Structure 1
Amino acid sequence: MKIEHIAIWVKDLEKMKAFYENYFNGKANEKYRNETKGFESYFISFDSGARLELMQMPQIPDSKNDVYEQFIGIVHLAISVGTQEKVDLLTEKIANDGFEIIGKPRWTGDGYYESVIFDPEKNRIEITI
């Protein structure tokens, strides 16, 4: 078995699509629209075969979770970029482009080399080898 895709409700569908295409080499399908529900989505595909579904619908309420705190539920996505140098370079590029870095590149106690960033809507993304 494998995880086929993970879905995220978003406010700005186009901005989020551009972020995952630009920084993580994702490829978006054509936008799906359901006019009756006011629902729109993109599937972002990655080289590994994993997909991320970005979904937008006006009536979805904002999360009440504090993005700087941990909470029960899905907390982050981890995206492997292949090498320590690529983790460092991508983290620096994302920081230089004005996105928030909440964990600078480092080796963790369980053997991961990673940084932690926020995407444009404050979802945690671990960038790892």
Structure 2
Amino acid sequence: MKIEHIAIWTKDLETLKDFYLKYFGATAGEKYINPIKKFESYFLSFNGGCRLELMQMPGIPPSLNDVHAQFSGLIHFAISVGSRQGVDALTEQLRKDGHRIVGEPRTTGDGYYESVVLDPEGNRIEITE
């Protein structure tokens, strides 16, 4: 078995799609639109593995979770960039472009080299080697 995809509700579908395309090399499938439900989504693919579904629909309330605190439920997902240098370079590019870095590059206790960034809507992404 494998995880096929993870989904994120968003208030700004195009901005979030563009973020993952620009910084993580994702490829977007065709936009799906359900005019009756006013639902729109994209599936984003990476170089193999799990896809990311970005979804937008009126009436979805904003998250009340504090993006800097830990809480129950899905808290982050990780994207591997292939090397420590890749982690460092992407972290610096995201910082330069004004995105919030909430975890500086470091080696964790379980041996991962990673940083943590918030996407434009406050979702945590671990950038790993």
Q: Note the 1:38-117 alignment, pairs <5 A.
A: 38-117=38-117
2:43 aligned with 1:24 = no
Residues 56-85 of structure 1 show CA distances to partners (whole Å, capped at 9, x for unaligned) of 001100111111110000000100001000
Q: Percent identity of the aligned residues?
A: 65
Task: Give the Cα separation in 2 of the matches to 1:66 and 1:90.
Answer: 24
Task: Give the Cα separation in 1 of the matches to 2:62 and 2:49.
Answer: 30
Paired residue secondary structure (2:40): strand
Amino acid in the other structure paired with 1:88: D
Task: Give the Cα separation in 1 of the matches to 2:111 and 2:48.
Answer: 22
TM-score by length of 1: 0.98
Deviation at 1:49, TM superposition (A): 3.1
Paired residue secondary structure (1:63): coil
TM-score by length of 2: 0.98
2:11 aligned with 1:2 = no
Paired residue secondary structure (1:21): helix
- Structure 2 stretches of 5 or more lacking a match? none
Match of 1:37 in 2: 37
Paired residue secondary structure (1:64): coil
Deviation at 1:10, TM superposition (A): 0.4
Task: Give the Cα separation in 2 of the matches to 1:76 and 1:97.
Answer: 21
Task: Give the Cα separation in 1 of the matches to 2:83 and 2:74.
Answer: 25
* Count, aligned residues: 129
